[in-house]
Amino acid sequence: MRSLETYEKKRDFDVTPEPRAELIGAGGDRLCFVVQKHDASRLHFDFRLEWNGVLLSWAVTKGPSANPSEKRLSVRTEDHPVSYGGFEGTIPKDEYGGGTVMLWDDGWWEPLHDPEEGLKAGKLHFRLHGARMKGGWALIRMRGKSGEERENWLLIKERDEFAGRSDDALVNKHKTSVTTGRGMRAIAQDHAPARPAEHAKPLPRFRAVQLATLKDAPPEGDAWQHEPKFDGYRCLMAIGKGGVRLYSRNGKDWSDRFGVLCAPAAALDCAAALIDGEVIAGRGGGDFSTLQKALKAGDPLTFYAFDCLALDGDNLTDEPLSDRRKALEALFGGLPPRGPLRLSPVIEGDGAAALDAMCEAGGEGIVSKRIDAPYRGGRGTSWIKSKCVRRAEFVVAGWSPSDKKGRPFSSLILGSYEGGDLVYRGRVGSGFDEDDFDALHAALKRLARKTTPFDGDLPSETKGAHWVTPRLVVEADYTEFTSEGRIRHGVYRGLREDKEARDVSAKAEAETDTEGGEQWIGGVRVSSTGRTVYPDAGLSKGDVADYYATVADRMLEHSGDRPLSLLRCPAGIEDECFFQKHAGKGFPDDVKTMPIEEKDGETADYMYVSSAAGLIGAAQMGTLEFHIWGAARDRIERPDRMVFDLDPDEGLGFSDVVAAAQDVREGLSAVGLDCAPMVTGGKGIHVIVPLRRIAGWEPVKNFSRAFAQSLVDRHPDRYTATMSKSKRKGRVFIDWLRNERGATAIAPYSLRARPGAAIAVPVTWDELGKLDRPDGFHVGDIGDRLSRPCPLDRAEVSGVGSGVVEKLEDWSKS
């Protein structure tokens, strides 16, 4: 038996809810294992194996990885009692290990050799039988440094049928408790697990869903109500005796795929119900491609309910929509407005106004429904859909080979069934990520055939194609249909596993789409929205405009009403890009201009933006990056920010740049200035100092140069303050030149015109210490950050006055 003395000494059991130390004997022929997600001083995962009456424990810093190539640092900690395996809750802040603990996985393990010998040798090999961790794993002890007390191990996945290729898919996919279904926030707030309601009536059976007919304009009149058209998966939710079933539009049981919605559905207060709706990504938004990624990663989902087919044993399909809607509102009325189950909103007003409002808000379109009509399965005219975005489903008929290494195909060949014939609809060659390539290539190989599946003649662009049996259905955006009925500028959005190939027709889209590929985004008309801008990330010009519409309020706080330069890439990052600081012809009115006197005494018009429309208007002109002056336009000669751009030599790692940022912070603090860091989305970090507008450009520039040189004098082997390539070798360049009049720095929240579409993001100092790269933030990461205060706002505003200058002189001599 092992000892729990260390565990006991570290805890005050009158304060902490953790179980007391208790050794147990063998409890059966299966040894338990448990993984607990632990948000203490740093988020980590505690991995525990039952052995000799205790839980052997390791703190896995980044959580387990199913990728055998990814070795995860696991620090050996004190043995825990076996009863700890059932603990989930919050340890008080001032106690040892204070923070929230989630029961992330549990099951049983089988050692593949004697564990005692393995612990002595530093090699444990075992198989896990958990809900999330499965198959062969190993714990390997690292060779310790001299005098190091802690015991470092590596947790490694064995290569077997449970191994994966992604480093973090395992922890990203599962974000709720394996026993209670709660997330970390719900556990921290002590929310009780969702309790299922009593459902006394039988579980309703699946029935054919009603489908909308596409028209180029919505219907008019008081006989219609208008709802948003969602970009997700259609879902029929059945609730009754025996639980919850979630069906796809063609009757497949997708309860497992939409599993996060089962518990809240089971809590609905009814004897039984059959509810029609749509599942979308996140907590209130997200397109179809985002939904597919959310399903793979186990991210939150939202179910928008828009019809009630049966309630408490009564069939409602023969009732008018107005009555069915009242029943739905009664059932959903008490639910939280931002919860996972929501009512689809009804848009008031006439159809044209409703569509305009939806398009201006960046939506996909609307569905108009007759309020007096019954519910009827199949496509009919009592539901009419009108689109803002040109998007449709297509059948994959083949693929064109690629000459690029690592890319299994260059494009998919698409078609649709019209009158029983497969009609050629063009190709889609962008929008794929690595996972898309892998999944599609595997599926295409299984469907390979020698002859074309098309019924008519084909254009020359299909020469050399590899053909497949037409079973796969994909969704794609496009700018327009040509007169030949083929799409232009197709962008892949995802596989439609809920649709059958024979049901796919693009005739309505081809007839109703108009020329131009334009879309209203944030009240700005954006052309060529389907043009691919970031090929590797699958982002289009429309995606860029959407992004700047999303971050506009936050971005304008730091970049609005100040002169700026734009990096424009009209044809995407793989084509020509150029800087522009003076206004030119063709810019929208919301990209404004102001006269500024230049060094030669001449006056030139510089650009600035003061509204979301200005940012989106710049994106319409192909702008990807915004670079801003350090002064606002109302006092252009008085800078309100000072920037130190930390640029590492090629041989240095990101940890060296983080250390440099910490040194800059300490030095600025010593002279009385506060600051905040921003990862640039490139190679380095900007340390930003907010300033009172008491000094002009020359004093600020001189101060920044003197400060940078003082830091170099303290650490000449680590830093340089000159641009010379020879002097930068092995050092971090502390670039103070951003503080000259007319110089610019990348704007907070700006995209970068580089592969990957990284973003310049302000972070807290605590966050900075946990990051492992400066280009790790992307479009999909920003939504959550916008709900929190900007880290730049934490830094106190100071001035470069005589007192600060004197402190710098003293500090430079110390």
Rounded distance between C-alpha atoms, residue 807 and residue 776, angstroms: 36
CB atoms within 10 A of CB 538: 19
Rounded distance between C-alpha atoms, residue 301 and residue 294, angstroms: 7
Residues of the chain with pLDDT under 50: 1, 27, 512-516
Supply the pLDDT for residue 287: 59
Rounded distance between C-alpha atoms, residue 569 and residue 540, angstroms: 12
Supply the pLDDT for residue 513: 42
Matching residue, tokens 């007839």: 511
Q: Are 318 and 312 in contact (CB under 8 A)?
A: no
**Which residues are registered as beta bridge partners of 64?**
none
358-396: burial string, b at 16+ Cβ within 10 Å, e else: bbeebbbbbbbbbbebebeeeeeebbbbbbbbbbbbbbb
Give the model confidence (pLDDT) of 98-152 as tens digits: 999 999 998 899 999 999 999 999 999 999 998 889 999 999 999 877 777 789 9
Q: Please, is 127 exposed, middle or buried when counting C-beta atoms within 10 Å of its C-beta (0-12, 13-18, 19+)?
A: middle
Rounded distance between C-alpha atoms, residue 513 and residue 789, angstroms: 42
CA angle at 486 for the pair 481 and 492, rounded to the nearest 5°: 85
Rounded distance between C-alpha atoms, residue 333 and residue 566, angstroms: 48
Supply the pLDDT for residue 282: 61
Supply the pLDDT for residue 508: 60
Rounded distance between C-alpha atoms, residue 628 and residue 312, angstroms: 61
Q: Are 9 and 81 in contact (CB under 8 A)?
A: no
Q: Are 678 and 554 in contact (CB under 8 A)?
A: no
Cα→Cα distances 507→135, 147, 193, Å: 49, 74, 48
Enumerate domains of the chain plus CATH numbers: 5-188 (no CATH), 210-387 (3.30.470.30), 391-513 (2.40.50.140), 532-628 (no CATH), 641-813 (3.90.920.10)
Q: Are 644 and 735 in contact (CB under 8 A)?
A: yes
**SS3 per-residue string spanning 68-127:** CCCCEEEEEEEEEEHHHHHCCEEECCCCCCCEEEEEEEEEEEEECCCHHHHHHHCEEEEE
CB atoms within 10 A of CB 4: 21
pTM of the model: 0.43
Taken as a whole, the chain contains a residue count of 814
Supply the pLDDT for residue 192: 59
421-430 and 490-495 beta bridge pairing: parallel
**SS3 per-residue string spanning 503-541:** HCCCHHHHHHCCCCCCEEECCEEECCCCCEEECCCCEEH
Helix (H) or strand (E) holding 553: helix 541-559
Which residues have C-beta within 8 Å of that of residue 600, sequence separation ≥ 6? none
Rounded distance between C-alpha atoms, residue 659 and residue 763, angstroms: 15
224-228 and 719-720 beta bridge pairing: unpaired
CB atoms within 10 A of CB 163: 16
Matching residue, tokens 């010593």: 670
Q: Are 36 and 130 in contact (CB under 8 A)?
A: no
SS3 at position 605: strand
Rounded distance between C-alpha atoms, residue 47 and residue 231, angstroms: 39
Q: Are 262 and 250 in contact (CB under 8 A)?
A: no
Rounded distance between C-alpha atoms, residue 238 and residue 271, angstroms: 11
Rounded distance between C-alpha atoms, residue 87 and residue 487, angstroms: 56
First-last CA distance in the chain: 58
Active site residues: 229
Sign, Cα dihedral of 106, 112, 118, 124: negative
Supply the pLDDT for residue 467: 96
Helices (H), 585-717: 612-620, 654-670, 697-714
Give the model confidence (pLDDT) of 488-531 as tens digits: 778 898 888 878 888 887 766 655 443 335 677 887 888 877 77
Q: What count of Cα atoms within 13 Å lies in the side-chain half-sphere of residue 728?
A: 16
Supply the pLDDT for residue 504: 84
Cα→Cα distances 262→255, 338, 702, Å: 7, 17, 62
Supply the pLDDT for residue 435: 84
658-691: burial string, b at 16+ Cβ within 10 Å, e else: bbbbebbbebbeebbbebbbbbbbbbbbbbbbbb
- Token couple for 399: 């693929």
Supply the pLDDT for residue 516: 34
- For the chain, what is the total number of helices (H) and then of strands (E)? 18, 44
Residue 382 has φ and ψ, to the nearest 5°, of -85, -10
Q: DSSP letters of 329-355?
A: HHHHTTS-TTSSEEEPPPBPS-HHHHH
Q: Are 747 and 555 in contact (CB under 8 A)?
A: yes
CA angle at 421 for the pair 419 and 422, rounded to the nearest 5°: 125
- Token couple for 164: 């994966």
- Token couple for 682: 């490139």
Rounded distance between C-alpha atoms, residue 177 and residue 102, angstroms: 6
Q: Are 72 and 97 in contact (CB under 8 A)?
A: no
Residue 631 carries which DSSP code? S
